[in-house]
Structure formats: structure tokens, C-alpha cells
């Protein structure tokens, strides 16, 4: 096991961005940059032993900043969407950044993913990233002290440990927005990947991707991934939910008790032989299939990122939870920690 720290790039203001690379004894590695505590790479072998990077991303900071994909970023203070950018905490309504269509708060407004985090090597298999979000940033109440630990084990599990402690009551929902392509982006889209979700239900949305409040069974719908099926099998189905989002961009309700690490998803790419397992203790996972990638953004190694060139499995509390009283809640009091663990195993 080893961890290295190297220069990656500079921010526009001259702040240096570093790359930390964790390598296990199986020669699998994960690279994380300090801008956005971003999962920059996850390198593992295919069925013939050829190493490949299964994270869709960019070669430099400027491309990360210019992109609207959030690829690999740690997302906070509130991952996913808040309707109208509004919510109520302790009897007071807050208006936060409306950075999507001028009316929705998406991914907390962009603070966490655009900041340069502090980072220290804490073991030969782990790096801790830290950031302090000041009270009122993007309109959210409370100063929040955040740490994210990336740990790569010899079981080929990339653990992401989240810890966020506010100094007053607030909402917290954090995730990682990695786009995966088990065949690597050099080999095209992910529609032939087989996906299994351990989810019996999902949360339908309106035209602005805000949950309606319904928790709908996947039975008999294009959203049924309880048995493995290709991502592309039903993505073009005549389903209002898929048509509105141009594919999958929906929260699924993970089976099992919230707070217990349990299976979320399994993905297999038959062509490369690579597999990915996802485990988490959170109630939901957002399946996004890169519906708005259009080939205009150039990813790593100059590869044009076309439609469906990556998929995301963003473990999370449900979108718009503070405005949906029937959803599992994510309001945290002063000194009460948001703690979560997500595992990506290859």
C-alpha cells in the first residue's frame, strides 16, 4: 500500500491543486485532487489484466471548472435538488442559491465542489480532505466543518467516509458525483453495461426534476433493475419520466434499514469483464446516465464525451427532502454529525 502526493494544476487565482494517489497491493489505484475533493481516477484491470481508468473526467482544472458535469466531485451542502431553493429549518425559511433554471438549487449551489480542500495523508491507504463552509455560504444556515476520507483497501474497496458537523441546525446531504465507465470512455457509451439495483421503489419527479412526493414501485416499469439488465434496454421506453430527463436521472429507494451499510448496486461490463459494486448506509441512490453529454466536452486524453458515456450512482438522502415530510429526513442540530460511508468495490 502507498500514497503519493503530486502537483496536478493551478486554480485561476494561482492556488495549487494537488493529486493524491492511493495504490493497493493489487496495483489498483484511486486518484483524488484537492479541487472539490474530486475522485479523479480509479484504475483497475480488465479480464485480460490490462489496466484502465473507469472514471470519466478531465485532464486539468480549467476543464473541470468549465464543465457542468460535477464529475468526481464531492457534493454539498445539499446534494441533488431543492425546490425553489427554499426550505425551512427551526421555523425559519431559507432561500439558497438557485443555480438551475433560475429557480432550483442544484448540488448546494456549487460551493463544496469548486473549493480547494485541505488534505493530509493519514495512513498508507488513506487521505483525509477537510473543508469549512462558513455560515451563510450559498444561503445555507450554519458553519459546517467537513471531512471526507478516501481509503482504498486490499479488498479493492474504495471507501468514502463523510463527516460534517454544523454549529447550528441545518440540512446536510453529501455525495460523490463520479461518472463511471467500466469499459473506459475510449470504448464509448455505457448502454451495454448490466445494472442491478437493490431498490424496490423510486421517486418520480416533475418537469424540473423535483420529486412529486410519491414513492412508486418499480414493478412493471422501465425502472425495474431488481434483476440485472442492460442500462440501455429500457432507456428509450415511452415513459414520461424517461422522456422528461432524456434517460435515467432519478432517485431510487435503497432496500434495507437506513444507517446500515448494505448493497446498493452491481454493475458489469461483459466486454471488459470489469465489475463494480456499490454499498452505502444512506436511504437513496441517484442513477444518472449522462443524458446531457453531447460530445462537445473533451475528457481525459482528448476523448469527446458523448451521450451516455458515463453513469452515476450517487448515494444520498432523497432530493428535496427538507420539503418532503414523508421522506427520510436530513436535518442536523448543532453539533450533530452527518456521518456516512459509501463503498465502491471493483
**Residue 55: which of 152, 176, 232, 217 has the closest Cα?**
176
| Residues identified as active-site | 177, 314
* C-alpha dihedral sign at 123, 79, 342, 247: negative
* C-alpha dihedral sign at 186, 22, 172, 73: negative
* Separation CA 64–CA 107 (nearest Å): 15
| Residue with cell string 446536510 | 172
Q: Which residues contact 204 (CB under 8 A, 6 or more apart)?
A: 211, 212, 214, 216, 241, 250
Q: Cis link prior to 77 (omega < 30° from 0)? A: yes
Q: What is the DSSP string of 134-193?
A: PTTGGG--S-EEEEEEEEE-TTSEEEEEEEEEESSSEE-B-EE--EE-TT-GGG--STTS
**Residue 254: which of 199, 322, 172, 202 has the closest Cα?**
199
Q: Which three cell numbers stand for residue 298?
A: 473533451
Please check whether residue 21 is in contact with residue 3, taking contact to mean a CB–CB distance below 8 angstroms: yes
Please check whether residue 261 is in contact with residue 344, taking contact to mean a CB–CB distance below 8 angstroms: no
The conformational region for residue 232 under phi > 0 = left, psi -120 to 50 = alpha, else beta, is: alpha
Please check whether residue 142 is in contact with residue 132, taking contact to mean a CB–CB distance below 8 angstroms: no
Amino acid at each position: 500500500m502507498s500514497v503519493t502526493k503530486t502537483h496536478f494544476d493551478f486554480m485561476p487565482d494561482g492556488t495549487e491543486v494537488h493529486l493524491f494517489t492511493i495504490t493497493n497491493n493489487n496495483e489498483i489505484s484511486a486518484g483524488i485532487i484537492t479541487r472539490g475533493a474530486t475522485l479523479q481516477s480509479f484504475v483497475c484491470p480488465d479480464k485480460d489484466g490490462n489496466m484502465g481508468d473507469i472514471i470519466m473526467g478531465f485532464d486539468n482544472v480549467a476543464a473541470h471548472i468549465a464543465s457542468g458535469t460535477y464529475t468526481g466531485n464531492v457534493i454539498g451542502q445539499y446534494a441533488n435538488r431543492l425546490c425553489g431553493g427554499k426550505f425551512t429549518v427551526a421555523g425559519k425559511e431559507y432561500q439558497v442559491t438557485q443555480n438551475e433554471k433560475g429557480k432550483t438549487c442544484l448540488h448546494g449551489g456549487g460551493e463544496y465542489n469548486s473549493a480547494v480542500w485541505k488534505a493530509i495523508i493519514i495512513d498508507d491507504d488513506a487521505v483525509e480532505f477537510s473543508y469549512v463552509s462558513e455560515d451563510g455560504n450559498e444561503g445555507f444556515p450554519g458553519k459546517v466543518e467537513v471531512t471526507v476520507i478516501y481509503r482504498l483497501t486490499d479488498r479493492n474497496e474504495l471507501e468514502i467516509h463523510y463527516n460534517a458537523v454544523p454549529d447550528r441546525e441545518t440540512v446536510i446531504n453529501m455525495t460523490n458525483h463520479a461518472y463511471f465507465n467500466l469499459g473506459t470512455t475510449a470504448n464509448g457509451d455505457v448502454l451495454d453495461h448490466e445494472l442491478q439495483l437493490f431498490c424496490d421503489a423510486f421517486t418520480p419527479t416533475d418537469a424540473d426534476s423535483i420529486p412529486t412526493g410519491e414513492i412508486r414501485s418499480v414493478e412493471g416499469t422501465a425502472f425495474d433493475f431488481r434483476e440485472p439488465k442492460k442500462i440501455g434496454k429500457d432507456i428509450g421506453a415511452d415513459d414520461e419520466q424517461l422522456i422528461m430527463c432524456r434517460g435515467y436521472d432519478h432517485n431510487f429507494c435503497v432496500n434495507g434499514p437506513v444507517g446500515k451499510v448494505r448493497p446498493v448496486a452491481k454493475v458489469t461490463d461483459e466486454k471488459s469483464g470489469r465489475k463494480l459494486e456499490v454499498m452505502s448506509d444512506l436511504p437513496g441512490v441517484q442513477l444518472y446516465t449522462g443524458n446531457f453529454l453531447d460530445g462537445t466536452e473533451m475528457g481525459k486524453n482528448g476523448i469527446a464525451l458523448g451521450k451516455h458515456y458515463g453513469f452515476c450512482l450517487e448515494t444520498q438522502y432523497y432530493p428535496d427532502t427538507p420539503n418532503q415530510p414523508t421522506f427520510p429526513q436530513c436535518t442536523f442540530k448543532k453539533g450533530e454529525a452527518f456521518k456516512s460511508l459509501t463503498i465502491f468495490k471493483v
